[in-house]
Structure 1
Amino acid sequence: MLHGRFDEGGRSESAIKTKADVSVSGIYQISKVLTASTRLEITLTNVVNILSSMLEMRHGAIVVLGDENEPEIIATAGITPSSQSGGGRVIPQAVIDEIVATGAPVVIQDASKSELLQAALRTSSSGGTIPDRFIAVPVKAERKILGILSVVRLRGDATSLPYDEDVSFLTMVANLVGQTIWLHRTFSMDGQQLPEEQRRGEKSPDGERNDIAGRLPAKIDWIVGESPAVKQVLATVSAVAPTNTTVLLRGESGTGKEFFAQAIHELSPRRKKSFVRLNCAALPEGVLESELFGHEKGAFTGAISQRAGRFELANGGTLLLDEIGEISPAFQAKLLRVLQEGELERVGGTRTLRVDVRLICATNKDLETAVANGEFRADLYYRINVVPIVLPPLRERPGDIARLAKVFLKRFNKENGRELAFEPSALDVVSHCRFPGNVRELENCVRRTATLAQSRTIVPFDFACKNGQCLSSLLWKGADGLNGGNAIDALARGNAMPAGPPLSARPAGAAQREVASKACDPDDPACPAMGARLTERERLIDAMEKSGWVQAKAARILGLTPRQVGYAIRRHGIEVKKF
C-alpha cells in the first residue's frame, strides 16, 4: 500500500478556499475538447494542456492502459516520457497497479519525500525539485478502469484546492475522459462501428449479440437534415446512445431538443422501456417534486391515492428533463441526491426506492453563467454535463429549411385531407427567412400558410411576410418600424408590419429595396399598392425598362432572383420586349 493514500483523515490538512469558478470553467472547456472530432491522442493532450493552464500544475499526464495494464497512449504536459523506460515512468507502475487493484485515487502529500516519485520524475524534471503534492485518479467507463489521470502541483499554488476537492475535481475530469476513450474504442468518429466491432457477431452467455449495431435501428427517420451541422450532431448521438452516459442537450428554443433526446433513447439498448419527458419550467417546485418522485396517499391535500413519479415510470428506460436550468436551488439539491445515489422516496413516504434511469437533460440557458452567479449548483452541473451536445439553430443549416418545409406540408396535408404543394419560388422565399424561433417557427409558418392558401399550389404571395403580416419579423429588427405603437394594434388597423433586415446570404442589390414602402415587403414586386406607391405590375415594368428588359438585371434592381421575376412577369401577363 502506498503511503498517504486518499482517506478521510487527510481532509483536515488543507484550509484553502474552494475555487468554484475554476472548476466550472475547466469542466466546460474540457467537455468542449472531448466532443471535438479529433484523434484520441490529440484530444487527451488538449485535456492535459487545459488542466496545466488552469491549475498551474508542474506535471500532468493521462495514461490509457492496454492489455496487462501496460501504457497504450500517453498524453503529458510539463513532462517528457523517458525513452528508456518505455514511456510508463510518467506514472509509476506501482501507482498504476494500486489504482487498478483498488479503483480508488492515490494521493501523496509530500512528493519530495517519496523515493518512488523521485525515481519516476527526476529524469524529466527540469529543476530537479519534486513538487509537493501528487494525485492520481482512475479513468473509468462502463465499470472498467481504462487509464490513469495524474497531476503534480504545489500545495501553495494560488489555484490550489483543498486536496479532497482536488481529487473530486480530477475525478470528474477523469470520468469525462473515460467516456471519450470508451467511445473512441467502440466507434469511429463518424458514428460507424470499428471493423473490430463489426466482426463480433458471436453470442454472449445471455444469448444476446455482442455487436451493438445488430441491436440498434439503422436510421433516425424523425430528424430531417443533410447539413454538416446536423450530421455531426447525429454522429455524436449515434456514438453516445448505446451507453448509459448522461447527456446534456443545449441549443436555442425550437431547435428540436426533444426529438434528439428521443433519438438517443431509440438508438439505445433501453428503447424497449419507457421514454418519459418532463418540462421542469412548467411546474412550481412543490408540484415538480411530486411529478418526479411521486407521492403517497394523503401526503398533501388532493393526494387521494398513491402515485408513481416520472423516475419510477422511466425505470429501465430514459428520462428527459427539459429546461433543467429553470429549477430552483432548493430542488436542485433534492434532484442531485437521486442522480448520485439512484434512490428516492415518494413525497410523504419513508420507503426508499431504487431506480435505474438513463438521464437526458435539455436547456437553452447559459448554465456556466448561472453557476458563476450562484443560481445553479456546481455539483449538479458536473453531474449532468457529462456529454454536452449543442444543437445548431436553423439559420446555420439553411439547406435544410426547404426539406423541413416539405415535411411539415406533407404532415398538414395528411392531417387535414388536403393536397397542397409548394411552387419552387415559394420554397425560395421560405429558405431566405431567419426564423428566430427555429424549427418550431418554421412549422408554424408552413401551417399558417397552408391553412390560408387560396389554391392547391402555395406561391410566394401566400406567405405572411409577403403581405406585411409577419409579426415574427419584429424579432429580427425590433419594433422601430412601429413608431412606438403596438404590433397587434397595427395589424388590427389594417397596416402591414415592417419587414426584417435582409440576410447576409441574400442576393446583391439589397440596397435598392429601400425604395419600397416600410409598410410593404420589398422582397417581391407583388407588393400591394400603398397610396401613391406604384402597383406591383408598374414596379415590375419600371425595373424591366431600366434594365433594358433583361430579367437578370431587373432581378438585381428588385432584390429578387431571376426565377422570381420570371414568375411575376408570367403572372401579370407582361409582354417582354426584345431588341
Structure 2
Amino acid sequence: MAEQKDFYKNVNKKYPINTKNVKSLDALELEVLYAISEVISDVLELDRALRRVLRILSETLDMERATITLLDEESGRLVIRASHGLSPQEEQRGIYAIGEGVTGQVFATGEPCVVPDVRSEPLFLNRTGARAVAKERLSFIAVPITLKRHPIGVLSVDKLFGKDVDPAEDVKFLKIVATLIAHFVSLNQQVAAREKLLRQDNLNLRRELKSRFQRLFWHSQSPVMQRTLEMVRKVAPTKATVLLLGESGTGKTMTARLIHELSPRAGKPFVKINCAALPENLLEAELFGYEKGAFTGAVTSKSGRLEEANGGTVFLDEIGELPLSLQAKLLRFIQEREFERLGSTKTKEIDVRLIAATNRDLEEAVARGEFRSDLYFRLSVFPLELPPLRKRPEDIPLLLNFFCERASQDYGRKIILSQEATERLVHYSWPGNIREMENIIERLAIVCEKVPIAPEDIEPFLQTDHLDQPSSEEELPNKESHSLKEMEKREILLALKRNQWVLTWAAKDLGLTLRQLRYRIQKLGLQPSIPLRRGRPPLRKK
C-alpha cells in the first residue's frame, strides 16, 4: 500500500495538474454538459443514466473506456457501477480496495490524477485488462466523485494526448461532470429512501386497514352483513368486475379495499377515482392521462390513474355520475383493456381489476338515457349491495365502541357513551350510515367533555325528523343558521321544492349542472330525505 501511495505522489509530482490556468469551457464542452444535464430524466434508473453520461463523453470528446466506480457499502470496496467501452467481463474485474491503485488513491485522497502514458507506468494496475494491448500513447484521467465533501466514487477515462498537451482542461471539465454525477447519485438515493419509507408506510397502512376490516366487518353480528361478507370472500380471488351498491356512507370504499386485499393483487396498487369530484374535461385526463401539448397547460406528458394502477385494482367511485361522453371510452377499456392518452394515437394495454360503486339506481338511469346499458351490464358482472346501518342494528354497538376507542386514541382522553346514549343511537335511522357515525363520534370527542356522554349531548348532531319529508318552507332548516352547510342545504331544498323535486329543473334553477347537484345532495346527506320525481314541473305563472 505504501508503494502505491508513493506511486500516486510521484505521478502527480511529475505531471502536476494546474486547472487554474483554464479560463473557461469551450462551446463543445458546454453542449456536452447540457446533454448530460438532460440525463436527469433517467435518474430513477441510475445505471442507465450513468451509462448515458459515459456514452456522451465517448462520442463527443473521444474519452474512451470511461468508467464510474462507486463505493459498495456492503463490501467496503470500489466497484465499477457503469462503463462505456468495456466488456461485461472487464467491468466485473474492476474491483479495488480503498487506496489501491490510481482509482483507490483518487478516492482516498479526493484529488484528481493523470497518468500520461499507461504503458510506461508499471504500477498502473490495469485491473480490468482493457489496456493490455495498448500500442500508442494512452493517458488515464481519474477525478473523485464527491457528495457533501465526502468521496463516493471515481470517474475515469482514457484519452490520447500529444507530448505537449496539458490535460488540465480535461481534468477541470471532468470534475464538473463528476459533480453532476454526484447529484444524480444523491437524487437516486433520496428517491430510494423515500420509496423505502413509502413501502413501510404502505405496510403499516395495510395492517391498520386489516385491523379496521376485522372490527368493522369480520366481527359483524348482523345476518345480512355476514351474507354480504361471504360474497366478498367468494369474489375477491377472482378477476370479476364488482359493482358495489348501497346508500352513501355504507362502506363501499372500504369494501373495495377489502376485495383488493383478499385478491392475488394485494401487493399491487389500489387506485381510487371519484367520478363525481372532477369536471368532465379534467376527468378524462385524470383517467387516461395525456401527452404534452394535448391541451392548453399540458406542458409535459402525464400518465393517467388507470396506468398507475397497472397490475392492481381500480376503484371507480360514484360511477353513476360518469358523463355519457366518457362512458363509451370506459366501455372500450373494460372490453379491451386498452386506451389512448389524450393527444396520442398510441394504444396502451394494461392489466387492472375494476371495482365500481354507486348509490344511484343505475337501472333507472339506463331507462332515462343517462347511463349506457352496455356499460351497466359490463360493470354489474357481480353486483354486491351493502346494507344500510338501519338494516343491521346488531352491529351498531360494536361500531360505536370501535369509533369511540379510535377517538380516544386520537384525542388522548376517554370517549365513553352512556347506556342511554347508546340506546338512542341504536334506534336512530342513520341516513348517513357509517360515515355519519364516524363524524358524530369525532364531533363529540371535540366538544363534549362529559364522561359518559349522555343522550342530550348527542341530539344536536343528529339529523332531525323534519328533514325526512319536507313539505313546507317552515319545515326547512332555520333561516337564522350561521352554518354554510345548513345554508347550502336550505337553498337546495328550497330549489327542489319550487321545482316539485325534479332534479333537472332544480339544477337549472340553482345554476348547476345535473352532476353537480347530485354530488352536492349526496355530500350533504340529503339523498335519503328527498322524494325525487321524474317529469317536468307545471309552468310557472309570470
For the superposition of Structure 1 and Structure 2, which TM-score range results when normalised by the shorter chain? Answer: 0.3 to 0.5
**For the pair shown, which has the larger CA radius of gyration, 1 or 2?**
2
Give the structure-1-normalised TM-score: 0.45
Higher helix proportion (structure 1 or 2) = 2
